[in-house]
Amino acid sequence: MIYGVIGDVHSNFEALTAVVNELQGERVDRILCTGDIIGYAAEPIQCIDLIRELDCVVVAGNHDYAAVGKFPAGYFHADARNAIIWTAKQLTPGYTEFLKTLPLVVELDGITLVHASLNHPEFFDYITSGVEAQLNFDILKTQICFYGHSHVPLAIFYDKGNIHVDKGGVFDLQNVDRVLVNVGSVGQPRDWDIRASYAIYDTNRKLVQIKRVKYNIRNAVDKIYKAGLPGINALRLMG
C-alpha cells in the first residue's frame, strides 16, 4: 500500500493542486490529511472540495475547528484569527458540518493520524521537546503516527527507550519501534523551503519520504491580497 500524506493546506489551492498532481503521478492508493485544510489563504472552499473529491482520510486541525466554533479563535494571533473569521464567513452549512464532524484522531492500516499531539489532541499542543514526544509515544498504539501543525517536516524516533530527531527527509522504518512523522505543510511551509511539502509512505518497503514541489506562489499571494486577508499571510509564502 502506498499512501500520500498531506497537511496544513491552509486554503492554498495553488499548492494543493500542485501536490495532488504529484501524488497522482506517484500512483498512491490513498491520501491521508493531517488537518488544517483551511486558514490563512484565500480559497477554503476549493480546498475542501478537492479534499472531499479525493476521498481523503482527514483529521481536524485547530484552524478547521476554530472556523466552525469548536476551538476558541482567541488562542490565535491576530493575523490567523482574522483569517479564521474571514473563512467562517465563506462557509455554507454543508462545509461547516463537514469540518465539525472531522475526528481528532484516526487509526488505520497500522497508522495513526493526528493534527498536533496525541496527548490531549483537542488542545492542539506542539511537540517541541523530548518530554512532549514521550507523552505521545506512551499513547501511540501503532508503529507510525503522521502529524503536522508546526509546518516543519521531520521524524522523531523512539527506539529502545531513546528518542532522536531526523530531518533528513527519508525515513527507514525497518526495525524501528515507533516514530512520529511531521509531514510539513502543503500551503505554508516554515522550514525556509517555500515549496509545498508532502510525504509518501510505502507500507511494504517501510519507507517514508518527504517530498517537495514548486507551485505558483505569485497566484496564491495575489489571491490573498485580493480577498483582503492580512498581508503577512501572503508574505509568509515567499519565505
Segment 50-75 shows an average pLDDT of 97
Task: Check if the beta carbon of residue 60 is closer than 8 Å to that of residue 35.
Answer: yes
Segment 98-120 shows an average pLDDT of 97
**Grid cell locating 21:** 498532481
Is the pLDDT at 21 greater than 90, yes or no? yes
Task: Check if the beta carbon of residue 7 is closer than 8 Å to that of residue 35.
Answer: yes
Is the pLDDT at 161 greater than 90, yes or no? no
Per-residue confidence band for 76, with pLDDT thresholds at 50, 70 and 90: very high
Is the pLDDT at 124 greater than 80, yes or no? yes
Q: Which of 17, 22, 18, 19 is nearest to 6 (CA)?
A: 19
How confident is the prediction for the chain on average, in pLDDT? 96
The pTM of the full predicted model, rounded to 2 decimals, is: 0.97
Cα-based torsion angle of the residue sequence 215, 221, 223, 226 in order, rounded to the nearest 10 degrees: -170
Instruction: Write the CB contacts of 208 (distance below 8 Å, at least 6 apart in sequence).
Output: 144, 155, 170, 171, 173, 181, 199, 200, 201, 202
What is the CATH classification number for the domain harbouring 93? Answer: 3.60.21.10
Per-residue confidence band for 116, with pLDDT thresholds at 50, 70 and 90: very high
pLDDT tens digits, one per residue of 184-206: 999 999 999 999 999 999 999 99
Residue 118's pLDDT is 97
13 SS3 class:
helix
Is the pLDDT at 239 greater than 80, yes or no? no
Residue 236's pLDDT is 94
Residue 46's pLDDT is 98
Per-residue confidence band for 100, with pLDDT thresholds at 50, 70 and 90: very high
**Grid cell locating 184:** 510539513
Residue with cell 463537514: 98
Residue 160's pLDDT is 82
**Grid cell locating 88:** 467562517
Range of the domain at 182: 2-238
Residue 122's pLDDT is 97
Q: How many domains does the chain have?
A: 1
